[in-house]
Amino acid sequence: MKEIQEDIDLELQIIATGMHLSSEFGQTWEQIIEDGFTINQKIEMLLSSDTPVGITKSMGIGLIGFAEAYEMLKPDIIAVLGDRFEILAAVSAAMVARIPIAHIHGGELTLGAIDDAIRHAITKMSHLHFAAADEYRNRIIQMGEHPKTVFNFGSPAIDRIKKTKLLNRDDFQKAINFSLSKKNLIVTYHQVTLENNTAKRHFKELLNALDTLSDTHIIFTKPNADTHGRVIIRMIDDYVRFNSDKAISFVSMGHLLYLSALQFMDAMVGNSSSGLTEAPSFRIGTINIGDRQKGRIKAFSVIDCSPTKKSISQALTTLYSNEFQQQLLQGSNPYGQGEASVNIKNILKNIETKRLLKKKFYILTA
């Protein structure tokens, strides 16, 4: 967004929707303004319910809102990132409105989440593809997208790390009003959306494993507005209330506090994609629990485990072993080294958008 904003030949338009507009999830649209951007349209689509019916209704409301927003803004192309249900509504409306779609982070696999099917559906509706690794680029081509429209510039998340001036340890502790300890973990755990009613049981196993640690402080970041996510939110609130000496939670830390936190953590624990894309750049471990991220490319710093106290505890033991700590010093991030944003901007700037709409299915030859 900053690359587009700073280019005199381009006009940036921003639509904010979903959790960004919700007080329950931190009113993060305000962070967009604080970062120097202008929001052109706000689309209210998030209902108070996180049941399958509630999520589906939210998608329907979003579809109507995006159709109206596109009619008003008349963009030449839309750029979307990821695989959430809000994005599916955004690209569905753009497809009907005959607006070309550029998709960032396609071609990935997350076999434990509905995001997997959503991501691939977005790929087939999109016209330009910005994958984060060669394996993902190849998968997009395998899905029938022409190689000339599929690029691998790595993840823009790495750009954000390189361009952000992070807080030092003292300033970070003052900013969050919480002291770090000898050992520190950041925990982000989401419901595995292709499983039924496992959130409470699996997250309890994680909390039980954390309770076995000593001299360890924990920062929780709360989950997204996914199906049954509020179960996890309530459990985090209860845990922090009874363990305020060693734990703190945030609805949203914002990118400065979040990235600053990572540099002081021993590991990211949970099942967030950030543990795979961003954490390796800080040479810290990731304890990846369960199937939510199953199928994604992982750095050597990622330790996979099952959603049981025993398996999570074993992963924590591995994390603090001398062998693993030495391995972290040698690691690299498979999602790139930066510069994705400017490369993506240049493609968007120079592409002839009118010729993108009529695309053919690309057939792989032996």
Q: Render pLDDT for 76-128 as a digit per residue (tens, 0 to 9).
A: 999 999 898 999 999 999 999 999 999 999 999 887 778 889 999 999 999 99
pLDDT band for position 194 (cuts 50, 70, 90): low
- Confidence band of 366 (pLDDT split at 50, 70, 90): low
203 token code pair: 């997250």
Helix (H) or strand (E) holding 220: strand 216-221
Q: Is the pLDDT of residue 295 over 90?
A: no
Q: What share of the chain is helix, strand, coil (3-state, %, to 5)?
A: 45, 15, 40
pLDDT in tens, 137-156: 999 999 999 999 999 999 99
Residue 110, both tokens: 């997350």
Give the per-residue pLDDT at 332. 84
**pLDDT at position 340:** 94
Longest dimension (CA), the chain: 61
- Residue 97's pLDDT is what? 97
Q: Which two tokens stand for residue 269?
A: 């624990």
Residues near 288 by beta carbon (within 8 Å), at least 6 away in sequence = 270, 271, 275, 276, 298, 302, 303, 304, 305
H or E, element range at 123: helix 115-125
Which of 142-156, 222-236, 329-343 has the largest mean confidence?
142-156
Q: Beta-carbon neighbour count of residue 32 at 10 Å? A: 15
Residue keyed to tokens 């607006």: 99
User: Would the pLDDT of 19 be above 90?
Assistant: no
For the stretch 164-185, pLDDT in tens is 999 999 999 999 999 999 999 9
DSSP string, 199-218: HHHHHHHHHHHHTT-SSEEE
Domains for the chain: give ranges and CATH numbers.
2-153+339-355 (3.40.50.2000), 162-330 (3.40.50.2000)
Q: Give 86's contacts (C-beta < 8 A, 6+ positions apart).
A: 17, 18, 45, 58, 59, 62
* Comparison of pLDDT for 74 and 336, the residue scoring more: 74
The C-alpha atoms of residue 159 and residue 338 are separated, in whole angstroms, by 4
Q: Which of 130, 41, 38, 35 lies closest to 81 in space, CA to CA?
A: 130
Please enumerate in sequence order all residues whose Cβ is within 8 A of that of 248, keeping only pairs 6 or more positions apart, or say none.
176, 178, 218, 219, 220, 240
Task: Provide the CB-side half-sphere exposure for 230 (13 A, CA).
Answer: 10
Q: What is the pLDDT of residues 231-281, one digit of tens each?
A: 899 999 999 999 999 999 999 898 899 999 999 999 999 999 999 999 999
Q: What is the mean pLDDT of the chain?
A: 92
27-67 tens-digit pLDDT: 889 999 999 999 999 999 887 777 889 889 999 999 999 99
The predicted model scores a pTM of: 0.84
